[in-house]
Structure 1
Amino acid sequence: MVRQLSARRLAVAVALASLAGYLDGCGFILLGGYFVSFMTGNTTRLAVDLAHVDWSAAGLAAALITAFVMGVAAGTALTSPASDRTVHILGVITASAALAAALAPTTAPAVAGSLLAFGMGAANTVLAQRQDVAFGVTYMTGALVKVGQGVVRALRGGDRWGWSRHLLMWAAVAAGAVAGGLASSLLASSALWIATGAAGVLTSAAAVFRMRRGRARTP
């Protein structure tokens, strides 16, 4: 749960949510109205495309959903209760974004989009606890539900600010999507390289943190 995260892990969650929003903004433009992190939206698009017998569009939605699930599976396979695999999963996200950025100008959008969806699926396992995803960092419907519930609890005399972390996660996705939309408008598919750089910075920071923690534990 977001409320149980330490300050460091909350910072990681917010960074990932911002990255997810950015890539979803880029992906939405690249794919003409489909998503690379919001699978509820893609599920609706799939159903509508099937209802209209638009097999090509339905195939795109299905490919994105499948790639996302495969990304979750890959991230889960890397997750270990015995050791911190955050760096490995962030590396997968960085590699997926880089490959998508490299291929986007020369291949069908579905290929780059599927790579991004794969990375976003893996992103949901970064903060996994005991190999089970504690919460998703790429979709915010649940976060908004928590905000509404938290506000009512606060008004009833409960935790006054328990809802604020969920609102922060939603805001991170929204801000990232704004940045992604603007970057795509200016740079087209080259905007994906910005996300690749951001993911690389997160990966490097996680690697440095793990190295320092390992040294601190060494007698």
Structure 2
Amino acid sequence: MTRARRRRIIRVQRTGTGLALVAAISFIAGMTDAIGLRLSGDFVSFMTGNTTRAAISLADGDLHHGLVLLGAVLVFVLGNAAGIVVAHLVQRRMFGVLAGVAMLLSLASMLQDPDLHLLRFYMVVLSMGMVNATIEHIEGLPIGLTYVTGALSRFGRGIGRFIMGERKMDWTIQAVPWLGMISGALCGSVLGLALPGDALFIAAVLTLFVALSTLLMRRTLHHRYNQRIARATGTK
């Protein structure tokens, strides 16, 4: 086997593994977003929607709801930041991030008291921000896990380039997070309706299962799907 062929095989394996993880994590994100929407009436990962709804609430004079949604946007951003920190502090990056997400969802599932519903909402939002640090790209192509607007936009632009004669087909992978999200949301909608008290815990268990499955992967792959941190270097 030539070196070039070996490299192609390894790249195909890396891509396949990454796409399987994207599908699984997007499924969890869609499930959790649907469960969160049923439990709270607001999105836990769709911050574009929360931003628009916050603006409408503020314009309508509903200051409390508007501030709650703006708080959710802030918590989501902090969750993304926390995910990056965790991903770069542990050896098994994907396991570390997903285990943290599973822990947050488990804790949120225990907050059944109506007085703690806002805290539960923010904990779920934090977990959905954090999960985005699991996979940031596949072979240099950006991937979104908890939101699919960007993926659909890249997919549509890929169709346009294909029509104009470009034959690179890497844009087709952008369909994976959307398919994972919609299938997860369907399951989450059913769970949120049938088992509202246990739905978040089920999502936590599924997240932990995916986290444990990443331990079967080579350690190098845990670093392969994250962007490198560019550290400032001083000059003498």
| TM-score, normalisation: structure 1 | 0.85
Aligned residues: 207
Residue in structure 2 matched with residue 173 of structure 1 by the alignment: 181
- 1:69-84 → structure 2 map (5 Å cutoff): 69-80=77-88, 83-84=91-92
CA deviation vs aligned residue, 1:20-52 (integer Å, no higher than 9, x gap): 1111101111111x1111111111111111111
> For 1:87 and 1:64, how far apart are their aligned partners in 2?
25
Give 1:73 deviation, angstroms: 1.3
The answer to whether the Cα contact below 8 Å between 1:105 and 1:189 also exists between their aligned partners in 2 is no
| Aligned residue among 14, 21, 39 for 2:30 | 21
Q: Please tell me whether residue 50 in structure 1 is matched to residue 58 in structure 2.
A: yes
Q: 1:1-219, aligned counterparts within 5 Å?
A: 6-32=15-41, 34-80=42-88, 83-104=91-112, 106-128=114-136, 134-159=142-167, 161-210=169-218
Q: Which has the larger radius of gyration?
A: 2
Tell me, yes or no, if the aligned pair for 1:27 and 1:36 is still in contact at 8 Å: yes
Q: Give, in whole Å, the separation in 1 of the partners of 2:24 and 2:66.
A: 31
TM-score, normalised with respect to structure 2:
0.79
Regions of 4+ moved over 3 Å: 81-84, 104-108, 160-163, 210-213
Q: Distance in 1 between matches of 2:114 and 2:106?
A: 14
Q: Is the 8 A contact 2:91 2:219 kept in 1?
A: no
Q: Structure 2 CA distance, aligned partners of 1:55 and 1:210?
A: 50
Distance 1:100 1:113, change over 3 A: same
1:216 is matched with which residue? none
Deviations 1:81-125 (A, max 9, x none): 994422111111000110111114554322111111101111111
For the residues of structure 2 that align with 1:117 and 1:104, how far apart are their CA atoms? Answer: 16
Contact 1:104 1:189 in 2 (8 A): yes
Which 5+ residue runs of structure 2 have no aligned equivalent?
A: 1-11, 222-236
Shift of 1:55: 1.8
Stretch deviating more after TM superposition (155-164 or 18-27): 155-164
Cα distance in 2 for partners of 1:171, 1:128 equals: 18
SS at match of 1:37: coil
Q: Is the 8 A contact 1:91 1:200 kept in 2?
A: yes
Confirm or deny: 8 A CA contact 1:79 1:128 kept in the other structure.
Answer: no
The one-letter amino acid of 1:69's match is: V
Gapped regions of structure 1 (runs ≥ 5)? 214-219
Give the residue type in structure 2 aligned to 1:8.
Answer: T
